[in-house]
Structure 1
């Protein structure tokens, strides 16, 4: 597999799981995706688990750290690559978003800030130093998509368009109105509306999609390991997907993409 050494500005460069039980989450994801991991000590940030593909020395896939506030739910956070962190934060504030963690250096890996959009969905900004982000994407076992569920689709289109320069395109997948966000000709993220049939008070949120070779088998394996499957394996035009929460309550999705007629990814360094 080609290893990714750089992520384009405006794309999801990294995904990080926060969990109340790091050990249990590590075993769950290793069991579901066959990941390995190593521990990275980051000074004031404490110990972080770095999930890898194809052994502990393989490319990085995602991160895992412990919740610092027991009242917060377990969750996956999507980190978007930026070229100028201060300018991106100005855009977040100017578009009506909020900053919950001010710009902070994560050791020598990069500089991050945690933000939320006007509907309250959390996301992070990432300016890399020595960690570009995930070392593999768009491959089995790795992240291949990120998706927002929002209570106000039109406002979210306005907000992310201002912050990342994304262009919104209408699609019809498994939601009556699905948004494909694009940079140039390349799709970088998606969005669907939170509708009346969703659980009452369901919060806006971002989730990662992980590419798997057999959606049904992966969903079954995740359920056997304690996940709750909310959307059973279902066929849509991009492939066969399933949405679940892990045993700690963090929401994620898996997909076996339909690669027939799939355009080649943009060339990567």
Structure 2
């Protein structure tokens, strides 16, 4: 499998899971995607689990840590590559967001920070040091992240916020049942999506970022996830880029599954 050697600034590069039950999460994602994992120990941080594809020595695809606050919902956090974490932190606050984790060094690997946007949706940024850990070492293949998407009830505000923070350009699309959809771009590169939460979405669902994972057969993967204890929140259906579904894993974290059809 070809290894990713570079991420453009503003592009998603990593995701990690905050889980209240890491053992359950390891089993679920191991059975669903064939992931294994190892523990990365860093003096200044809690132990961090690295998910890999193709065995413990395989390429890294994501991370996991124990949910620090039991009052917070389990979730995946999407990370975006930046060239200056501190400058992004200033831009987030100026645009109306909030700093959740201040910019900090992660050993010799890089510099990170975590934020919440105007509606409270969390995301993180990563500034790698050299070639140590630029992000996921493989993407766009079965069992790896291939897309990230934000759900919001205020499309205009979201477009402004992320445009000011990352310089993203919003391109409007109609992918699914005439839903308003935003394809965010950096130059010609599609980096993320934005879906409008209309009245059909449950009122109690906050807007949030979720990763999508590529699978060979969306229906089979959704069925497999259900058998492993997940809940399907959006059943498999067809959209222009492929066939997709959204599930909630056994701990309550949401993720997407997609069998792509050509280029987005």
Same fold (TM > 0.5):
yes
Q: Deviation at 1:41? A: 1.2
Q: After the TM superposition, which of the residue ranges 37-46 and 54-63 deviates more from structure 2?
A: 37-46
3-state SS of paired residue (1:7)? coil
Paired position in structure 1 for 2:143: 141
Q: How does 1:218-233 map to 2 (within 5 A)?
A: 218-233=221-236
Distance in 1 (CA, whole Å) between partners of 2:198 and 2:109 is 39
3-state SS of paired residue (2:44)? helix
Q: How does 1:29-108 map to 2 (within 5 A)?
A: 29-108=29-108
Q: How does 1:236-255 map to 2 (within 5 A)?
A: 236-255=239-258
Paired position in structure 2 for 1:12: 12
Note the alpha carbon deviations across 1:114-148, whole angstroms, 9 max, x for none. Answer: 10111111100111122101000111111000000
3-state SS of paired residue (2:89)? helix
Q: Deviation at 1:204? A: 1.1
Distance in 1 (CA, whole Å) between partners of 2:166 and 2:95 is 11
Question: Where does structure 2 lack aligned partners over 5 or more consecutive residues?
Answer: none
3-state SS of paired residue (1:220)? helix
Paired position in structure 1 for 2:114: 114
Note the alpha carbon deviations across 1:63-91, whole angstroms, 9 max, x for none. Answer: 01101111111000000110011111111
* RMSD, matched Cα: 1.1
Q: After the TM superposition, which of the residue ranges 174-183 and 26-35 deviates more from structure 2?
A: 174-183
Question: Where does structure 1 lack aligned partners over 5 or more consecutive residues?
Answer: 264-269
Paired position in structure 1 for 2:3: 3
User: How many matched pairs?
Assistant: 261
Residues 1:28 and 2:31 are matched in the alignment: no
Residues 1:164 and 2:171 are matched in the alignment: no
Paired position in structure 1 for 2:261: 258
Paired position in structure 2 for 1:234: 237
Q: Deviation at 1:59? A: 0.7
Q: Deviation at 1:109? A: 2.2
Note the alpha carbon deviations across 1:18-75, whole angstroms, 9 max, x for none. Answer: 1001111001000001111111112232221111111111110000110111111100
Residues 1:180 and 2:217 are matched in the alignment: no
Q: After the TM superposition, which of the residue ranges 21-30 and 102-111 deviates more from structure 2?
A: 102-111
1:205 pairs, out of 205, 208, 211, with 208
Distance in 1 (CA, whole Å) between partners of 2:76 and 2:161 is 21
Using the size of structure 2 for normalisation, the TM-score is 0.96
3-state SS of paired residue (1:119)? coil
